[in-house]
Amino acid sequence: MINSKLVRAFDRIADLLEIDGEKAFRINSYRRAARTLKDLTEDVAVVAAENRLTELPGIGKGTAQRIEQYIDTGHTDVLDELQAKLPEGLPALLEIQGMGPKKVALVYDKLGVGNLGDLKRVIDSGEMEKLPGLGATSVKRIAEGIAFLETSSQRTPMGIALPIAEAFAAQIVAMIGVKRVEIAGSLRRGAETIGDVDILCAAKDGEGIVKQFVALEGVKRVLASGSTKGSVTVPFGEGKELQVDLRVVPADSFGAAWQYFTGSKEHNVRLREIAVRKQLRLNEWGLFDGDEPIAGRDEAGVYKELDLRWVPPELREDRGELERGADFGGLVSSQDIRGDLHVHTTASDGRCTIEEMAEAAKRLGYKYLAICDHSKSSTIANGLSVERMRRHIDEIRAANEQTRGIEILAGTECDILPDGSLDYADEILAQCDWVVASIHSAMGPGGKGKSSPTERTVAAMQNPFVSAIGHPTGRLLSRRAPMELDMAAVIEAAAKTHTMLEINASWQRLDLQDVHVRQAIEGGVELVINTDAHHVDQLEQMVYGVTTARRGGALRKSVANCLSLTELRKRIVLKRQT
């Protein structure tokens, strides 16, 4: 599909317009169009051919014309003109802390800076600090921003950022004078990767709290320390750093600030538009009627005064959540999960026994657990031969007889082979209670006699014993791109065959991603959220999968492992009778 290319083109147009000093409404129109195209589950070329472009949110007549031009030619006049006018390396400078559009435009106009190398040169030469409105201190912070950019990941996975954020929040809440501490930003929205961590706290002595914050254990560098905001970096991985920001706000404004620093830019713009229509004013300090505050102490009050339902954080992306009639009742939560249906043990590449995994699952309150060790072709993961698999099924049955309080299901993670066949014969699969089928090798596109990932996945779903497709796109965040999968075709086949699609909760995967979760639900496909745990500690990663499901609008009724064991068995039987 051409969608991703159009997203990059429209984002680049917005970046260049911002540097060029264009008005905000024009810049935001391209940003919003890019987001719409990013979330679009259909091929935009098909939408255009059917004259439905202007039915999409944020796509007006002019934008539609530019989309059609790009589809036809691979170019848009607007982008071509801007790229001819401005250096290619300028937009990347916006990623540097302290380098907003005005400063980028300033160094370009006055010093001819066109890329990161040029910027480093004028910093080192001392030319930059002589520009009006800058100075040695500002330039020093920009230089530190460059160093941070070069030593840190552009985006940090949620699974790394959340434990860091929670550790900082626990230290802050223990400070004298702090009344409340909450995580905000894209991390609270459950984005799969984040730029930095935002933490809010309610306290009167902002300067004192910030001084303690920047001195906390674990801080590597202090980026800012003021009367209401502190900014530090925290090391993780090999030479990487994550930025953590703390904002101290009055208790009366805490709810408004928490909303403001949680919602996406687009969600917040839409909220402010609603407030303006009601002749009200909304910002991080509260909701005001003239100078009179009418809401701000809590989030719910802000939404209520705007005649809106409180929106769960994961849905604050301007994807229809503020439309009248939007209902969030029944959205899946971690408390709804009754079992994990994809875990590994020492039989293949796991590090804990069947019994250890079962006891850990019991402690989480689960009613059932499916042991799904690798099949024979996954030699790197110590996959089980047919004879070993037969013995393993017996061992699972025996463990289930000896364990009270949880049902241990005999399962397998069976490889989908390059030709679309399965790694075990039906005779073995029929002995299992639950079968996850996954692609682990030959993940490139098909051709020259090889089946494509889509063809292989669809073929696997035809097998009556395959309960679910594991980590369907095969991606690894920041390490491996997803397979070229025709998700619409996969979802159609899943619905027809009553095959579930997995949301793999491992923070390194989060696969399905949120946009595909929404697409699957709309296609009538049942989901299952699994951790793919290889150790008892990894069972705790279920929260990441639930968060991803919530971002896709999944209700508990759409998630198989929210069912009782009796109802789950009925779903499995339904598939086997298809």
Mind listing the pLDDT tens digit for each residue in 11-59?
Answer: 889 888 888 888 888 888 998 898 888 778 788 999 999 999 999 988 9
Partnered with residue 258 across adjacent β-strands are: none
Mind listing the pLDDT tens digit for each residue in 434-466?
Answer: 999 999 988 877 766 678 999 999 999 999 999
Please state which CATH number belongs to domain 334-576: 3.20.20.140
d(CA 531, CA 216): 33
Mind listing the pLDDT tens digit for each residue in 378-397?
Answer: 888 889 999 999 999 999 99
* Residue at token pair 């072709």: 377
Asked if residues 490 and 460 have their Cβ atoms less than 8 Å apart, the reply is: no
Lowest mean pLDDT among 31-45, 170-184, 510-524: 31-45
- The yes-or-no verdict on residue 1 having pLDDT over 80 is no
Q: Cis bond leading into 149, ω under 30°?
A: no
d(CA 536, CA 335): 19
d(CA 385, CA 303): 57
The CA-to-CA distance between both ends of the chain, in Å, stands at 32
CATH superfamily of 156-249: Beta Polymerase, domain 2 (3.30.460.10)
The CB density around residue 108, as the number of other CB atoms within 10 Å, is: 20
Partnered with residue 415 across adjacent β-strands are: 438
Mind listing the pLDDT tens digit for each residue in 240-250?
Answer: 899 999 999 99
Domains 3-151 and 253-315 share a fold: no
Give mean pLDDT, residues 468-472. 98
Distance of CA 186 to the CA centre of its chain: 9
Q: Model confidence at 155, in pLDDT bands (50, 70, 90)? A: confident
Mind listing the pLDDT tens digit for each residue in 101-113?
Answer: 889 989 998 999 9
Assigned token pair, 546: 């639930």
307: Cβ contacts below 8 Å, ≥ 6 apart: 278
- Select the more confidently predicted residue: 250 or 484: 250
348: Cβ contacts below 8 Å, ≥ 6 apart: 373, 374, 378, 381, 382, 383, 384
Please state which CATH number belongs to domain 253-315: 3.30.210.10
d(CA 465, CA 576): 6
| HEC profile of 94-108 | HHCCCCCHHHHHHHH
Fold of 3-151: DNA polymerase; domain 1 (1.10.150)
- The yes-or-no verdict on residue 304 having pLDDT over 90 is yes
Mind listing the pLDDT tens digit for each residue in 271-302?
Answer: 999 999 999 999 999 999 999 999 999 999 99
Question: What is the model's pLDDT at position 141?
Answer: 83
| DSSP-derived 3-state class of residue 395 | helix
Spell out the domain ranges in the chain: 3-151, 156-249, 253-315, 334-576
Question: What is the model's pLDDT at position 152?
Answer: 56
* Residue 161 host element (H or E): helix 158-173
- φ/ψ of 369, rounded to 5, equals -150, 130
Mind listing the pLDDT tens digit for each residue in 519-556?
Answer: 999 999 999 999 999 999 999 999 999 999 999 999 99
Q: Strands 197-202 and 180-184: what pairing? A: antiparallel
Q: Model confidence at 92, in pLDDT bands (50, 70, 90)? A: confident
Give mean pLDDT, residues 196-220. 95
Sign of CA dihedral 413, 369, 358, 160: positive
Question: What is the model's pLDDT at position 38?
Answer: 79
- φ/ψ of 477, rounded to 5, equals -55, 130
Question: What is the model's pLDDT at position 479?
Answer: 73
Residue 35, CA atoms < 13 Å, CB-side half-sphere: 17
Partnered with residue 70 across adjacent β-strands are: none
| DSSP-derived 3-state class of residue 253 | helix
Give mean pLDDT, residues 117-144. 90
- The yes-or-no verdict on residue 148 having pLDDT over 90 is no
Question: What is the model's pLDDT at position 151?
Answer: 64
Picking from 467, 465, 544, 557, the residue whose alpha carbon sits closest to that of residue 512 is: 544
